[in-house]
Structure 1
Amino acid sequence: MKIWTSEHVFEHPWETVVQAAWRKYPNPHNPTVVGLDVIDRHVDKQGRLVSHRLMCTEWGLPMWVQKLVGVDRACYASEHSVVDRKRKTFVLRTNNVTFSNLVAINEQLTYSPHPTDKKSTLLKQEAIITVHGMRLSSYLEQLVVNTCSSKATQGRVAMEWVIGKINTEVKDLAKGVKGIKHNLENIATKAENLESPL
């Protein structure tokens, strides 16, 4: 068994980062995620958004590893998440479904406001990798750890890309509202001119 941990600070508010995490896929920085389906989503008695999603990925493992564990390129993972707006936490727990009897990957991501900078968000990641009953298990576990580390870096880049996309949408929306306001003011001015005696 190997444990991989990481922390990262997004210089964006928690609400923005959580919105980006929900809208993360598809994106050009994580092309291995090819599908994401919502199995269940509801608000629990505590007012938390609870979700279960199924993710289809192409892991990009070397061909010899695919043959060794007996899988093709498509792999599936189950993701359970809880968004708690009161406590400002977003916790995602993901475990692989494909070949889990040989290699178990249990990952947890926790997004919360940074303890000293409320305008930033702290991401804590942990992955527990266990290879069952195979030769070279320590080597395979380290290979998966390296993959997790690489994917985490790509994931952070993807999050920044999605946040940039959200910020652009907000700016475009504000510009559209400003244009509508300007048009309404013009219409009001023309209406006043029509009502004024010459």
Structure 2
Amino acid sequence: MVKYFCNNTDIRSTWDHVVSAFWQRYPNPFSTHVLTEDVVYREVTTDHRLLSRRLLTKTNRLPRWAERFFPAGMSRFVYIVEDSIVDPVNRSLTTYTWNLNHTTLMSVEERCVFQDSAEQPATTQLKREAWISSSIYGFSRPIQEFGLARFKSNQVKAMKGLEYALSNLQGEMPQRLLRDSVKDASGKAKEAAKNLASAASAPQKPQQYI
């Protein structure tokens, strides 16, 4: 079984600003669990798309009930690969992330598409999807439920961090920009949670880009 998450958010900023803020979103006060970020691959294709692969290190706090099942020396860090494609012609930024370690305990794969809105001026549409699974026999369901709850909490923080980066780029106070966009993201996250699909009905997980 796989837990599937999906939501859509309207970011009240132009696509160009959102892409610029995406590369400058760390560090920020809402993502203190992100420790490092390193570019390991980058290429501009003949059709002018920018392909990137980055490695991120994040803290990995286990739920208290799960700590007794795992070695005390188990790494408390998780290594994340982030593939991204910036397409300036179609004005889209697509990212795909997945964890490299602790995959037996929990695997989290995420796809985000930032698309310039054709209907709303100076607005970027974000579609975020995630697939959460666990291979721990007898405990996969509670681990997946924990992973889903953590993911929903972290994606709200991720939105706050992105808006914080946007506010810095635009020279405005973070609180002013965060107010409406974060409220909108939080409301839509609650709505999306009601529509969680089972593995049978969930879209197929995407392939890696690079």
Q: TM-score, normalised by structure 2?
A: 0.76
Q: Supply the distance in 2 between the matched residues of 1:64 and 1:42 (Cα, whole angstroms).
A: 44
Deviations 1:57-116 (A, max 9, x none): 013332443553553321111111000000111011000111113321110011001241
Which amino acid in 2 is paired with 1:116? E
The residue that corresponds to 2:126 in the other structure is 123
The residue that corresponds to 1:181 in the other structure is none
The residue that corresponds to 2:31 in the other structure is 30
Q: Which structure carries more relative contact order (alpha carbon 8 Å, separation 6+)?
A: 2
What residue ranges of structure 1 are gaps of 5+ in the alignment?
170-198
Q: Percent identity?
A: 25
Work out whether 1:148 is the aligned partner of 2:151. yes
Aligned pair partner of 1:139 in 118, 138, 142: 142
| Native 8 Å contact 1:3 1:129 kept in 2 | yes
The residue that corresponds to 1:57 in the other structure is 58
Question: What is the RMSD computed on CA atoms of the aligned residues?
Answer: 1.6
Work out whether 1:105 is the aligned partner of 2:108. yes
The residue that corresponds to 2:88 in the other structure is 85
Which amino acid in 2 is paired with 1:47? H
| Native 8 Å contact 1:51 1:82 kept in 2 | yes
Q: How many residues align?
A: 169
The residue that corresponds to 1:16 in the other structure is 17
Q: Which runs of 4+ in 1 moved over 2 A?
A: 59-72
Q: Supply the distance in 1 between the matched residues of 2:136 and 2:62 (Cα, whole angstroms).
A: 19
| Native 8 Å contact 2:29 2:161 kept in 1 | yes
What residue ranges of structure 2 are gaps of 5+ in the alignment?
173-210
Which amino acid in 2 is paired with 1:167? Q
Q: Supply the distance in 2 between the matched residues of 1:69 and 1:106 (Cα, whole angstroms).
A: 22
